[in-house]
Chain A
Amino acid sequence: MPDLTMAKATPASTAASNAASSATADRILAVENLEAWYGESHILHGINFNVNAGEVVTLLGRNGAGKTTTLKSIMGMIGKRTGSVRFNEHDIIRTSSDKIARMGIALCPEERGIFASLDVRENLMLPPVVRPGGLSLDQIFDLFPNLKERLKSQGTKLSGGEQQMLAIARILRTGASFLMLDEPTEGLAPVIIQQIGHTIARLKKEGFTILLVEQNFRFASTVADRYYIVEHGKVIDGFANADLQANMDKLHTYLGV
């Protein structure tokens, strides 16, 4: 793993200074009774969970449980949503997605969302810098050396692993401190999954807060602090990584593995 030196005021340190004033001040995201619809179909039926500064929180659940919709709803990408989503104490349930992005939330979407009509450099530079403290291009190339050699390639000509790295890299530039990663390991080779795991651990150490959606709980268990289980559009359970072993039987039932 290349050395990553980030000259940034880490969100964790800001949160730590806030924590003195109130016990819940390090709560970055609080989702309460979130419901969402795609057209007529009611997908989320009341999602409740929260994320504290500097944590890696993972949403686990079967296909179609509503994990991706939860991320998209937080990001403001679902037209009809109700309930409450509070980010740094601002209610963002009615905020448009471009404004939410500018508050410092960044999404690495399912299927990666690499643009075919843009080359790698254009894909990397697409998300605007929303606040100071993002990684510089040099830091990004330290983290993902492969990308540096492929800057002129069409975005979708990269391998799956490289595309995933590009999708993560481009949101690290923006200065967003709260990252939502939607199944970053899907369809990737074990060695690449390992590399992404190292990257997430590294980002956590640097003070990023990460909300992860995963089907692969073996991978999630290497990086997560806490888990929430999503089923039929609801959060039905949650536990800390320390209690993972104790919850293994339940987890197998929930996930059907």
Chain B
Amino acid sequence: MQALYAQLLVGLINGSFYALLSLGLAVIFGMLNIINFAHGALYMMGAFCAYFLLNVLGIGYWWALLIAPIAVGIFGMILERTMLQWLSGLDHLYGLLLTFGIALIVQGVFQNYFGSSGLPYSIPDELKGGMNLGFMFLPIYRGWVVVFSLIVCFATWFLIERTRLGANLRAATENPALVRAFGINVPRMITLTYGLGVGLAALAGVLSAPINQVRPLMGADLIIVVFAVVVIGGMGSIMGSIITGFALGVIEGLTKYFYPEASNTVVFVLMVLVLLVKPTGLTGRAA
């Protein structure tokens, strides 16, 4: 049983990253109509940002949780202003190719300077150690990642589904031209939305740094699974991306326990099944 709980925890951790990343992808897709293939590279940049903050400036984990998403988010907004905005109204394929190209360039630059091996980033002192829960041993940092990710996901959901700003965003997703004709600066809102999605990816990168090490290709490996998560959950729904992210992490964890051989493919098998039965994804609206 110990092993089962351990795999469940790993599943929840992976699920946290899936949820944070697919949430950002869903928000970006809704507003920009772009499938952001640069998402993995931006996640990696978040982790590297935390690494630089610590090793160059001596700024620790807690500040990195705030600074890295803002810094990488600003980088994302520059990408949107200088490149992505010109693709509005074109076929999805252009956005996909452009962001994929950006991802390759960013990853290439980091690989050139840092190689492919991982750089260590240690767990902050406050979150070191573990707790004995009786039925299992819980490393505190891992528990923190799950709880903090849940809070961030819920806060993002609240922002979009329950606030005035979120209402503007939802309306602009439906009919940007009309929202603009009401006097709302939609282009600026699009830029900020991209920054928000990118910031979530960078935040996931910081959270991941002490667990997975900091590697130029850390995002490239993860993003493939995240896209499968997005396909399963459907692009349309915020809550759908969060739930699907966590659920698939857990399903992966359970598979590792019951049938380890399939643990790397189970998400893709589910993706195929969902595509066969409901091509818009479990919670997706028809596009």
Q: Which residues of A contact B (CB under 8 A)?
A: 75-77, 96-98, 100-102, 106-107, 109, 113, 115-118, 122-123, 125-128, 130, 171, 174
B residues near A123, Cβ cutoff 8 Å: 171
Knowing that A97-B180, A107-B178, A109-B181 touch, tell me 16 more A-B residue pairs with CB under 8 angstroms: A77-B177, A77-B178, A77-B181, A97-B177, A98-B180, A98-B181, A98-B184, A106-B182, A113-B175, A113-B178, A118-B171, A122-B167, A126-B171, A126-B182, A127-B184, A171-B182
Partner of B181, one of A76, A116, A122: A76
Q: Give the A-B contact count at a CB cut-off of 8 A.
A: 64
Cα A114 to Cα B185 in complex, Å, equals 19
Secondary structure dominating the interface of B: helix
Contact status A98-B183, CB under 8 Å:
yes
Cα A216 to Cα B164 in complex, Å, equals 37
Cα A126 to Cα B186 in complex, Å, equals 13
Q: Name A104's closest neighbour in chain B (CB-CB).
A: B183
A residues near B181, Cβ cutoff 8 Å: 75-77, 97-98, 100-101, 107, 109
A residues near B180, Cβ cutoff 8 Å: 77, 96-98, 101
Q: List 30 A-B contacts (CB under 8 A).
A: A75-B181, A76-B181, A77-B177, A77-B180, A77-B181, A97-B177, A98-B180, A98-B181, A98-B184, A98-B185, A98-B186, A101-B181, A101-B183, A102-B183, A106-B182, A109-B181, A113-B178, A115-B170, A115-B171, A115-B174, A115-B175, A117-B171, A118-B171, A122-B164, A125-B164, A126-B171, A127-B184, A128-B182, A128-B183, A171-B182
B residues near A125, Cβ cutoff 8 Å: 164, 167
Cα A110 to Cα B228 in complex, Å, equals 39
**How many of chain B's residues touch chain A, expressed as a range?**
10 to 19
The verdict on B179 contacting chain A, using a C-beta distance below 8 Å, is: yes
The verdict on B168 contacting chain A, using a C-beta distance below 8 Å, is: yes
Query: Of residues 158 to 173 in B, which have CB atoms within 8 Å of A's CB atoms?
Result: 164, 167-168, 170-171, 173
Query: Of residues 242 to 266 in B, which have CB atoms within 8 Å of A's CB atoms?
Result: none
Q: Name B183's closest neighbour in chain A (CB-CB).
A: A101
Kindly provide the distance from the CB of B171 to the nearest chain A CB, expressed in whole angstroms. Answer: 5
A residues near B175, Cβ cutoff 8 Å: 113, 115
A residues near B183, Cβ cutoff 8 Å: 98, 101-102, 127-128, 130, 174
Q: Which of A96, A100, A122 has the most CB of B within 10 A?
A: A122
Q: Which residues of B contact A (CB under 8 A)?
A: 164, 167-168, 170-171, 173-175, 177-186
Q: Which of A75, A107, A125, A126 has the most CB of B within 10 A?
A: A126
Q: Name B160's closest neighbour in chain A (CB-CB).
A: A117
Cα A1 to Cα B184 in complex, Å, equals 33
Cα A128 to Cα B183 in complex, Å, equals 7
Contact status A126-B177, CB under 8 Å:
no
Given contacts A98-B186, A101-B182, contact A126 B174 (CB under 8 A): no
B residues near A174, Cβ cutoff 8 Å: 182-183
Kindly provide the distance from the CB of B241 to the nearest chain A CB, expressed in whole angstroms. Answer: 15
B residues near A171, Cβ cutoff 8 Å: 182
Q: Name A103's closest neighbour in chain B (CB-CB).
A: B183
Contact status A109-B170, CB under 8 Å:
no
Partner of A117, one of B164, B173, B178, B186: B173
Kindly provide the distance from the CB of A51 to the nearest chain B CB, expressed in whole angstroms. Answer: 18
Q: Name B166's closest neighbour in chain A (CB-CB).
A: A122
Q: Which of A75, A117, A174 has the most CB of B within 10 A?
A: A117
Contact status B174-A117, CB under 8 Å:
yes
A residues near B168, Cβ cutoff 8 Å: 126
B residues near A126, Cβ cutoff 8 Å: 167-168, 171, 179, 182
Instruction: Kindly list the 6 A-B residue pairs having the minimum CB-CB distance in the complex, ordered from nearest.
Output: A101-B183, A127-B182, A122-B167, A117-B170, A97-B181, A115-B171
Kindly provide the distance from the CB of B125 to the nearest chain A CB, expressed in whole angstroms. Answer: 44
Given contacts A98-B185, A127-B182, contact A118 B170 (CB under 8 A): yes
Kindly provide the distance from the CB of A163 to the nearest chain B CB, expressed in whole angstroms. Answer: 14
Kindly provide the distance from the CB of A78 to the nearest chain B CB, expressed in whole angstroms. Answer: 10
Q: Name B175's closest neighbour in chain A (CB-CB).
A: A113
B residues near A128, Cβ cutoff 8 Å: 182-184
Kindly provide the distance from the CB of A131 to the nearest chain B CB, expressed in whole angstroms. Answer: 10
Cα A126 to Cα B173 in complex, Å, equals 13
B residues near A117, Cβ cutoff 8 Å: 170-171, 173-174
Cα A174 to Cα B181 in complex, Å, equals 12
Q: Name B171's closest neighbour in chain A (CB-CB).
A: A115
Kindly provide the distance from the CB of B239 to the nearest chain A CB, expressed in whole angstroms. Answer: 13
Cα A98 to Cα B186 in complex, Å, equals 8
